[in-house]
Amino acid sequence: MIIMGVDPGLTRCGVGVIEAGVTRRLSFIHVDVVRSDPKLSQDLRLLAIYNGLVEKIERFAPDMVSIERVFAQENRNTVLGTAQAAGLAMLAAAQRGIPVALHTPTEAKLAITGNGKAEKIQVERMVARVLGLNTLPQPADAADALSVAICHALRPQGALQGGEREQHLTPAQRRWAEASQQATRRHGARRDM
């Protein structure tokens, strides 16, 4: 399965492409950053990001697009630009019939390092290690895109089917599955209130 990870951003939108084998062996394919010029108007910047994402999707023909979920930040303009870029990635995938998954930064950190609060450098080192890279992926947006693709590939829900699944999970995947289940229960409880 080819998975394209996207770390959405309006100035720099990270794109990482990996292959997840049947045995959950992960292979590096591509990493890059789609850029837009901050001097351009918002509409032209969004067009540049969209066109760059479409080019990557058409070039690598992913089976799945995994996008880092937008989370609240203090800078409203950053959140809006990030959300718009995430929407463009979803649109580009949906237009081609490619399924989309959203993962929070905490989920990605937990899946890769076993620690949902891992520092950026820890995530970068684990991304390089998991994919067998000789150097850390740069810039940070590129590493984040690879991490969200790896996160999707390692997600416990899809790792194996039936009763076999639990016995084949790594310790990090077990912790991630437990944390995800707790978060889902908390989210559902809030929705019921």
**Segment (H or E) for 68:** strand 64-68
With beta carbons less than 8 A apart as the criterion, state whether 127 and 120 touch: no
Residues annotated as part of the active site? 7, 68, 141
pLDDT score, position 156: 65
d(CA 42, CA 176): 37
pLDDT score, position 182: 60
**Could you give all domains of the chain from N- to C-terminal order, each with its CATH number?**
2-154 (3.30.420.10)
Q: Establish whether 141 is an annotated binding residue.
A: yes
Q: Establish whether 63 is an annotated binding residue.
A: no
Which of 104, 108, 133 has the alpha carbon at shortest distance from 123?
Answer: 108
Structure tokens at 59: 């070039």
pLDDT score, position 181: 57
Q: Establish whether 68 is an annotated binding residue.
A: yes
Q: What is the pLDDT along the chain (193 residues), one digit of tens a residue?
A: 999 999 999 999 999 999 998 777 899 999 999 999 999 999 999 999 999 999 999 999 999 999 999 876 666 777 888 999 999 999 999 999 999 999 999 999 998 888 888 998 999 999 999 999 999 988 888 889 999 999 999 886 544 333 333 444 455 555 655 665 565 455 444 433 4
d(CA 184, CA 182): 5
With beta carbons less than 8 A apart as the criterion, state whether 7 and 102 touch: no
Quote the pTM value: 0.80
